[in-house]
Amino acid sequence: MGRKKVNKIEKFIKDNKLDFSGSGSDLNGNCVILAGYACYLGLNHSEFIDLLPSTLLSAAYLELERLLEYAYNHDYGKWWNTPDAKKTYMF
Query: Can you give the pLDDT at residue 5?
Result: 60
Residue stretches of the chain with pLDDT short of 70:
1-6
Query: Can you give the pLDDT at residue 3?
Result: 59
User: Quick check: 22 and 30 in contact, CB under 8 A?
Assistant: yes
Rounded Cα distance, 11 and 31, in Å:
15
Predicted TM-score (pTM) of this structure: 0.87
Rounded Cα distance, 54 and 58, in Å:
10
Query: Can you give the pLDDT at residue 2?
Result: 54
